[in-house]
């Protein structure tokens, strides 16, 4: 069935989307400002466009898709169509996904310009969710990009499930912001720990158990090794007894260990331009410029405080296909 909205969204380039998200950033609730940028780094339109080229003469064969996936060295769950309801689980506003999805599906008028369209759909969603627009701007941009990449049929078919426990859904944005900002005290005997002070890395804010300690100055991926829980069943890239972050080389060569930094980016070591910075460009993992980039290689990022991260479900080499 034709989708006027999907057809309309196809007119916007990767640069248009970047500009729109940047323009709306200040209006997005602070709790999801970083998360929105991270989602767009995790699911770049450029990757979708590369596979769409295979469909120029009809539905591409499974062999053609797999060949391209091998060329880009894609590993993990890189198909957004398989994660329509869950790819944005790390956004606080994910709890309002059913209302946002309904607003997108019922959109018939297209204001001029992508920022205006995102804002109009967010306004429609606020009437369903009964929250302020700033809370829904990020998830609305994410939802529209999801529709753009997966198509109307798959988008409508997704049930609109919220992938959070009732306990996680009950946490307010204020409570979550307070958790992120908490400065972990050394305690009365903390001075005895010196540079061995342990901090906490949170890798799933909706799960109280999704944490592991990191010693001051230690690489995040190295710290994750101490977490011996079983993770391979939910991410085939994980190595047994190596923690929740997939790692292959520990030398910034493979790109497997990339993460998004939801909070605490300023507590990580700077990106070394000739090592991590150069490799991030090869992998095509979003914008890495600035003092506190939100996408890092966890085998290179050293922690000097508590941080909250999100682990993407895939990795690959996209640098050669990204437009500049």
Q: Is 274 within 8 Å of 312 (Cβ atoms)? A: no
Range of the domain at 281: 182-315
Same domain, 161 and 190: no
176 found inside a domain: no
Q: Which of these three, 142, 166, 190, is where a domain ends? A: 166
d(CA 89, CA 83): 10
Q: Distance between CA atoms of 182 and 226, rounded to whole angstroms?
A: 23
**Better-predicted residue by pLDDT, 182 or 111:** 111
Judge residue 60's burial from the number of C-beta atoms within 10 Å of its C-beta, 0-12 exposed, 13-18 middle, 19 or more buried. Answer: middle
Q: What is the pLDDT of residue 214?
A: 97
pLDDT tens, position by position, 117-139: 999 999 999 999 999 999 999 99
Q: What is the pTM of this model?
A: 0.94
Give the total number of structural domains in the chain.
2
Q: What is the CATH number of the domain that holds 259?
A: 3.10.20.30
Provide mean pLDDT across the span 244-267.
95
Res. 202 pLDDT band, cuts 50 70 90 = very high
Residues 94-99 have a mean pLDDT of 98
How many percent of the chain have pLDDT more than 90? 84
Whether 58 has a pLDDT exceeding 80, the answer reads no
Sheet holding 295-297, edge to edge: 211-215, 198-202, 307-310, 258-263, 295-297
Q: Are residue 142 and residue 234 in the same domain, yes or no?
A: no
Q: Tell me, yes or no, whether 119 and 202 share the same domain.
A: no
Inter-CA distances, 139 with 24, 31, 147, 151, Å: 12, 12, 12, 17
**pLDDT classification of 323: cutoffs 50, 70, 90:** low
* Rounded Cα gap, residues 225 and 38, in angstroms: 24
Residue with tokens 């997108």: 104
Q: Could you give the C-alpha distances from 75 to 45, 62, 129, 234, 292, in angstroms and in order?
A: 18, 16, 36, 14, 27
Is 177 contained in some domain? no
In this structure, are 215 and 275 located in the same domain? yes
Asked if residue 14 is part of any domain, the answer here is: yes
Extract the tokens encoding 227. Answer: 């977490």
The pLDDT value given to residue 269: 96
Per-residue pLDDT tens for 289-311? 667 899 999 999 999 999 999 99
Lowest mean pLDDT among 34-48, 106-120, 162-176, 189-203: 189-203
Q: Which residues in 156-171 are b (16+ Cβ under 10 Å) and which e? A: bebeeeeebeeebeee
**pLDDT at residue 294 in the model:** 96
DSSP code for 4: H
Work out the average pLDDT over 185-202.
64
- DSSP, collapsed to helix, strand or coil, labels residue 317 as coil
Count of Cβ atoms closer than 10 Å to residue 67 Cβ:
13
Domain-embedded: residue 146: yes
- Asked whether residue 158 falls in the same domain as residue 238, the answer is no
Among 112, 138, 166, residue at a domain's last position? 166
Least confident stretch, 213-217, 252-256, 286-290, 296-300: 286-290
* Residue 238 lies inside a defined structural domain of this protein: yes
């Amino acid at each position: 069935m034709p989708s006027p909205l999907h057809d309309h969204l196809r007119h916007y380039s990767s640069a248009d989307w970047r500009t729109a998200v940047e323009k709306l950033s200040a209006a997005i609730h602070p709790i999801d400002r970083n998360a929105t940028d991270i989602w767009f780094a995790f699911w770049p339109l450029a990757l979708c466009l590369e596979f769409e080229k295979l469909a120029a003469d009809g539905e591409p064969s499974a062999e053609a898709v797999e060949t391209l996936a091998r060329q880009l060295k894609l590993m993990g769950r890189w198909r957004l169509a398989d994660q329509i309801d869950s790819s944005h689980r790390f956004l606080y506003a994910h709890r309002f996904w059913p209302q946002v999805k309904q607003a997108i599906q019922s959109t018939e008028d297209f204001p001029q310009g992508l920022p205006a369209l995102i804002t109009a759909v967010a306004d429609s969603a606020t009437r369903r969710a009964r929250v302020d627009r700033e809370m829904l701007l990020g998830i609305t941009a994410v939802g529209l990009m999801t529709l753009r990449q997966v198509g109307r049929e798959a988008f409508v078919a997704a049930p609109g499930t919220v992938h959070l426990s009732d306990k996680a859904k009950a946490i307010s944005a204020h409570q979550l912001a307070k958790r992120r900002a908490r400065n972990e005290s050394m305690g009365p005997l903390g001075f005895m720990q010196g540079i061995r002070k342990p901090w906490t890395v949170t890798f799933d804010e909706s799960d109280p158990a999704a944490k592991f300690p990191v010693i001051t100055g230690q690489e995040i991926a190295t710290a994750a090794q101490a977490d011996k829980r079983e993770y391979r069943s939910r991410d085939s890239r994980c190595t047994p007894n190596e923690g929740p972050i997939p790692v292959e080389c520990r030398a910034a060569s493979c790109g497997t260990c990339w993460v998004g930094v939801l909070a605490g980016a300023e507590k990580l070591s700077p990106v070394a331009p000739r090592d991590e910075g150069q490799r991030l460009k090869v992998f095509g993992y979003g914008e890495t410029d600035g003092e506190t980039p939100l996408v890092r290689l966890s085998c290179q990022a050293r922690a000097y405080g508590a941080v909250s991260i999100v682990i993407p479900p895939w990795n690959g080499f996209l640098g050669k296909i990204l437009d500049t």
